[in-house]
Structure 1
């Protein structure tokens, strides 16, 4: 297979994918919320569709296998130059590989893994499918953040596996750091201690850009979802944490432009 050109650098969050019980109903929800259009994904993944904005891929939605008690949740995928070598690194650094590595037709090669504290993430070696093709416009993924007990140990794991550098937010009561590649922040780790949800454990949170956070939160409810944390201002924009009708948690954000 010929490798795709201009693929995301190793370690970059390059895709977000959701496993749902009802793919058609889930498409309806996200299509109305984000303006996504859908087209078939790799047949080897079963019932699976790719979501796009203006013809550019932004996310995937697949059907949850009925014989697997997996959570309904968004999964963040990280780009890998070699999925098999990265999977071995995951194992060697204290993580677990739950699925794969395996080929997704001619789109690429993937694996699903867990970090040492149990957060699920994906590994993606692109071939004919690069991953996310646009970011910053409403409806597109703009950030990925690991919510976990504490940052130090798990940050070491991700740095060893993907080559991240880390930068801590200096605060006496806020355990947070950014993961960086070539000096550019590509993700975050938020240590919440006892604030970690018991029903979810450690997890990666996908953030999606919206034009109006308050309006998006209202629309989520109108479409059958729920609001877990009401719209609020943050250092990076106005955010709200919500769920789709099946309970998959994600965050919507109206990002603030960086100062000139």
Structure 2
């Protein structure tokens, strides 16, 4: 489905910081069939993912000093905002931290990178010439974003103040789960991290739609990645798996089977 506009608070872009972009390119090209277009930027190259020419997200090479320091490959989720500067006032007031920006990205838009009060990282995007991803709700595109954290009530307060999200409890077996809403649309979720998570920090997870979770998880391994959570059914939703790309970036794939 083509996307022409994002409302305040909707996830609008994903970006991969890669330890080795020469490994990341064939992996994601093979897994999702994404085209990749390299754009020159002052810091090097910004590689745009696309389906049939429609932008979906991007990746870039982590600087050598960050790789040597042990920085891991990671996905970053961007949320649309109507006015970045006003939203950053809300970020500070709600206890968040601005770690990068705000700054303009040419004529494309204006962005900042944020840590929420528990340390989960995300980005904000005020569009100018580039709204973000131009496709959604189809195979090999972003379909869901999920916050894993321990202080769920604090998170509800923070994201409500910053992005205007509504929230409602979801009936998930053996876990506390919340669905995030922009208006009447469910755009993501939040699960409460228990002691079983150990000392893993709070974080955001990207979910990409696939036609066949089992086959796609097998392909992840064939392309050099690894499976963290094997394909698992979610009642009334579908089947998902958490995986690593060859550089260690974590993301999820999900085969949606609503009503099953």
TM-score by length of structure 2 reads 0.91
- SS in structure 2 of the partner of residue 201 of structure 1: coil
Contact 2:239 2:256 in 1 (8 A): yes
Report the equivalent of 1:88. Answer: 89
Report the equivalent of 1:39. Answer: 37
Deviates more, 1:135-144 or 1:58-67: 58-67
Q: After TM superposition, which residue ranges in structure 1, 4 or more long, deviate above 4 angstroms?
A: 170-173
C-alpha RMSD over aligned residues: 1.9
Contact 1:134 1:140 in 2 (8 A): yes
Alpha-carbon distance, 1:249 to partner:
0.4
Alpha-carbon distance, 1:136 to partner:
2.4
Decide whether aligned partners of structure 1 residues 161 and 44 sit closer, same or farther in structure 2, where only a CA change above 3 A counts: farther
* CA distance in 2 between partners of 1:26 and 1:229 (Å): 21
Contact 2:4 2:134 in 1 (8 A): no
* CA-to-aligned-CA distance 1:119-170 (integer Å, 9 cap, x gap): 0001011111111111122211110000111421111100100001111125
* CA-to-aligned-CA distance 1:91-127 (integer Å, 9 cap, x gap): 1111111000111111111111100011000101111
Match among 51, 54, 57 for residue 53 of structure 1: 51
Report the equivalent of 1:212. Answer: 212
- SS in structure 1 of the partner of residue 148 of structure 2: strand
Report the equivalent of 1:63. Answer: 61
* CA distance in 1 between partners of 2:259 and 2:57 (Å): 25
Report the equivalent of 2:257. Answer: 256
- SS in structure 2 of the partner of residue 88 of structure 1: helix
* CA distance in 1 between partners of 2:232 and 2:173 (Å): 22
* CA distance in 1 between partners of 2:171 and 2:243 (Å): 28
* CA-to-aligned-CA distance 1:232-259 (integer Å, 9 cap, x gap): 1113111011000010000011111458
* CA-to-aligned-CA distance 1:30-81 (integer Å, 9 cap, x gap): 0000000011347256421110012211111111133345442111110011
- SS in structure 2 of the partner of residue 47 of structure 1: strand
* CA-to-aligned-CA distance 1:146-201 (integer Å, 9 cap, x gap): 01114211111001000011111256842111111111111111112223353x41
Contact 1:73 1:248 in 2 (8 A): yes
Contact 2:8 2:80 in 1 (8 A): yes
Decide whether aligned partners of structure 1 residues 245 and 218 sit closer, same or farther in structure 2, where only a CA change above 3 A counts: same
Deviates more, 1:237-246 or 1:81-90: 81-90
Instruction: After TM superposition, list the pairs within 5 Å mapping 1:76-225 onto structure 2.
Output: 76-170=77-171, 173-196=174-197, 198=199, 200-225=200-225
**Gaps (5+ residues) in structure 2?**
none
* CA distance in 1 between partners of 2:145 and 2:40 (Å): 24
TM-score by length of structure 1 reads 0.91
**Gaps (5+ residues) in structure 1?**
none
- SS in structure 2 of the partner of residue 227 of structure 1: strand
Decide whether aligned partners of structure 1 residues 42 and 106 sit closer, same or farther in structure 2, where only a CA change above 3 A counts: farther
* CA distance in 1 between partners of 2:39 and 2:191 (Å): 32
* CA distance in 2 between partners of 1:50 and 1:258 (Å): 35
Decide whether aligned partners of structure 1 residues 32 and 170 sit closer, same or farther in structure 2, where only a CA change above 3 A counts: closer
